[in-house]
Amino acid sequence: MRILVNLTAAAVLVVSAGCRNTGRSVDTVVPNELGRTQAAYTGQFGAATSSPVTPDRVVFTAAPGTRLVARFVAGKSVEELWIIDADGAGVPAALAERAQALLASEPAPVRTIVFRAEGRPHAETFEEALGAGLLRVERRNGRLSRIALCADRTACVMLGQMQESELAVDEMMAAGLKAMRAQQQH
């Protein structure tokens, strides 16, 4: 399981996507989150990890078990992906409250992912428009597991890319398990 988590975290850095700067102001209804410089994040969270494959993305450890991936355009953050530990430590209170309020409103999921590998909980994604931006929230095992906050609805990509990489790993794991079981029966 630890390998899967590390592969998933690595996939965030490896998966690359185009983005566009629309010139619109950052309107997320979550104060002081987007539109910050990398230096501001470094001042808050400390040293970051980045990859030459995805130079627009930087990963910070917000708290033990909670990571923040920030995507930058023209030197300002336009998207944040919070990968949250069970206790939710490290997530800004206003953002956590907004995400919990979205889940509490019991909207229909915009996406449900059912994994094939044994023991993997399904993932439900919910969305809320925030002015020009978007809040995406993922729930697994009945708890908040990820939050994506985007300045531009049309360029909100990191959570979807992470889920797609997880699905690819899940397919490989399920196929490997099936092959192992077939060998054991012979």
pLDDT tens digits, one per residue of 116-159? 877 788 999 999 998 889 999 999 988 999 999 999 988 899 99
Residue-wise pLDDT for 158-170, tens only, equals 999 999 999 999 8
**pLDDT of 86:** 79
- What letter would DSSP give residue 180? H
- For range 89-116, the mean pLDDT: 93
The confidence band for 47, taking pLDDT boundaries of 50, 70 and 90, is very high
Whether residue 79 contacts residue 158, with contact meaning beta carbons closer than 8 Å, is answered with yes
**pLDDT of 29:** 55
Beta strands (DSSP E) in 3-154 are 49-51, 54-63, 66-73, 76-83, 111-113, 123-130, 133-140, 143-150
The confidence band for 186, taking pLDDT boundaries of 50, 70 and 90, is confident
Whether residue 180 contacts residue 118, with contact meaning beta carbons closer than 8 Å, is answered with no
**pLDDT of 88:** 86
Residue-wise pLDDT for 7-33, tens only, equals 333 333 333 233 333 333 444 457 678
